[in-house]
Structure 1
Amino acid sequence: MDKIINLQVWQMAAAYIFILLLLLIVRLRGIPREKEILLSTFRMTLQLVLTGYILVYLFDHPYPLYTIMVIAAMEVFAIYNIIKRIKIKLSNKMKRIIAVSMVTGTLSSLVFFVLVVMSVSPWYDPRYFIPIAGMLIGNSMTGISLGVTRLTDGMSMQKNLVETALMLGATPKAASRQIVNNAFDSAILPTINSMVGMGIVFLPGMMTGQILSGTSPVTAIEYQIAIMLGILGSVALTVILFVQLGYKTFFNKEDQLIFDEQ
């Protein structure tokens, strides 16, 4: 096996030079981002350090309850971040739909991937279950955030078209079909675009990490292909659940548009 390079403390510290470079650039350009950059850097460092120690403990104590607790915490945090990211005020019903879509889409994809694609045994092995869950949930979180934004923007900007279709006898589903399709398309596009450039324009983080840790590039590629397909499936399932349920919150029981009440 190739020699693995373990980074020393001074080498890790040297990497923060890039943050100083970014701070210098935004300061010279007069862009007020210094506080946000410093805060995000601090949070990233603290969160990853804590995560590292937690994972070491979990890997040494592989119990089903621990794995389930971690996945539950990841789902809650992801749902919270989605709701927090959205600039407009969301109804409680919309928030519930976001939560249901995230949990249903990501967990069903995760279980299938771990049990069928990876055939992990035992199924709760945190060394596989938690990292895979993180990639599926993280990407689905981004996808559904885009879906929420595009759906609400579409219903707002095309309100007159939807109301006209309703007056002509169209059902809410038919009147909002194009908006729902556009929201779904916008939400999955970043994942598709990342797949297009993968392997030629850039090497994904998971694959790069495995190669740096001494894994054969061919083995790393096999894992990367599998996980990218799993991510695509998770994002697609999560987003389609959301848009198919989410558009209904813009209509009342009489099939009237109620966007202003959102």
Structure 2
Amino acid sequence: MNNTVMDLSIFNLAIAYVFVLVLLFIFKARGIKREKLILIATTRMTIQLTIMGYILMYVFQNPSWWLTIIMLTIMISFAIYNVYKRVKSEMSKPLKQLVALSMVFGYLVTVGIFLFLVLRITPWFKPQYIIPISGMIIGNAMTGISLGANKLCSGMRDKRELIENSLMLGATPAAATRDIVNDAFDSAILPTMNNMLTMGIVSLPGMMTGQILSGTFPITAIKYQIGIMLAILGCTALTVVVFVTLGYKTFFSKKGTLE
């Protein structure tokens, strides 16, 4: 295969922004007031990706364990912050702490297994592997726990009377909230499962497409993509299951009553 990648000139890339103009026109024609959000999102995406591109160039050219750790810490910290912003209900301090704990735990377990047992990267901090792979894993876990947290908080709020009735009948907090916890976990995992169901037929994932464009043989790219998707599934499952199985407890007092 040809290992050269066709570069995009600034002019050619600028042409792609016509799609933003199309979106603005559609929203304007439909009378939907989203113009400001579209422009902010497009500008932020462009600036953030450009800055990240230069940062990654430096990190790739100067690989070191401490630079890699700084990058990973920033990524997971920003992901945790975004979970807080995405959850519509107000979360208590213990619940926010649990979000952070679950994200860090799920990521460390998943990336440890995937990098050291599946890819067997040497050295472990090789940035061109660990940073993009971690980005995909953390990003999907962030989406999963956001969905799970929203579902858990809304379920505890909307079914408060049902939970209290169950407690009065002698149910434990775990039994009284079992369906809510299961629904939260299911809601968090479902998008990843749906993505896996259509992958390869309806859509070609970004990592696989990028590898093919860079000259990698399709079969090699497919093997990497399968491994990544399994890691994403594992990290999302671990992150969410830790969160929901411990998260419901933050809604109860030490005596087992709803706060």
* Deviation, structure 1 residue 4: 2.3
User: Could you say what secondary structure the match of 1:49 adopts?
Assistant: helix
Distance of 1:37 and 1:223 partners within structure 2: 33
* Deviation, structure 1 residue 250: 0.8
Tell whether 2:26 aligns with 1:28: no
Tell whether 2:162 aligns with 1:157: no
In structure 2, what residue type is equivalent to 1:138?
Answer: G
Q: What does the per-residue CA deviation read over 1:3-54, in whole Å, with 9 as the maximum and x for residues that have no partner?
A: 4211111110011010010001101111101000000000101111111111
Distance of 1:9 and 1:19 partners within structure 2: 16
Partner of 1:102: 103
Distance of 2:137 and 2:166 partners within structure 1: 37
Partner of 1:119: 120
In structure 2, what residue type is equivalent to 1:162?
Answer: I
User: Could you say what secondary structure the match of 1:200 adopts?
Assistant: coil
Q: How does 1:1-262 map to 2 (within 5 A)?
A: 1-2=1-2, 3-258=4-259
* Deviation, structure 1 residue 85: 1.5
Distance of 2:205 and 2:38 partners within structure 1: 24
In structure 2, what residue type is equivalent to 1:196?
Answer: L
Distance of 1:21 and 1:216 partners within structure 2: 35
Q: What does the per-residue CA deviation read over 1:109-147, in whole Å, with 9 as the maximum and x for residues that have no partner?
A: 111111111100000000101011101100000000000
| Identity among equivalent pairs (%) | 56
Distance of 2:216 and 2:15 partners within structure 1: 26
Q: Are 2:83 and 2:142, in contact at CA under 8 Å, matched by a contact in 1?
A: yes
Aligned residues: 258
Q: What does the per-residue CA deviation read over 1:41-96, in whole Å, with 9 as the maximum and x for residues that have no partner?
A: 00101111111111111111110000011111111101111101122211111110
Q: Are 2:89 and 2:154, in contact at CA under 8 Å, matched by a contact in 1?
A: no
In structure 1, what residue type is equivalent to 2:111?
Answer: L
**Can you give the 5+ residue segments of structure 2 that lack an aligned partner in the other structure?**
none
* Deviation, structure 1 residue 232: 0.2
Distance of 2:164 and 2:230 partners within structure 1: 39
Q: What does the per-residue CA deviation read over 1:137-194, in whole Å, with 9 as the maximum and x for residues that have no partner?
A: 0000000000000001111111122111111111101111111011000000000000
**Can you give the 5+ residue segments of structure 1 that lack an aligned partner in the other structure?**
none
Distance of 1:160 and 1:5 partners within structure 2: 61
* Deviation, structure 1 residue 209: 0.9
Q: What does the per-residue CA deviation read over 1:207-255, in whole Å, with 9 as the maximum and x for residues that have no partner?
A: 1111111111111101000000000000000000100111001110110
In structure 1, what residue type is equivalent to 2:67?
Answer: Y
Query: TM-score w.r.t. structure 2 length?
Result: 0.98
Q: Give the 4+ runs in structure 1 shifted more than 6 A.
A: none
* Deviation, structure 1 residue 98: 0.5
In structure 2, what residue type is equivalent to 1:127?
Answer: Q
Q: Are 2:208 and 2:222, in contact at CA under 8 Å, matched by a contact in 1?
A: yes
Distance of 2:111 and 2:133 partners within structure 1: 7
Distance of 2:78 and 2:229 partners within structure 1: 22
Distance of 2:135 and 2:224 partners within structure 1: 15
User: Could you say what secondary structure the match of 2:165 adopts?
Assistant: helix
Distance of 1:111 and 1:55 partners within structure 2: 22
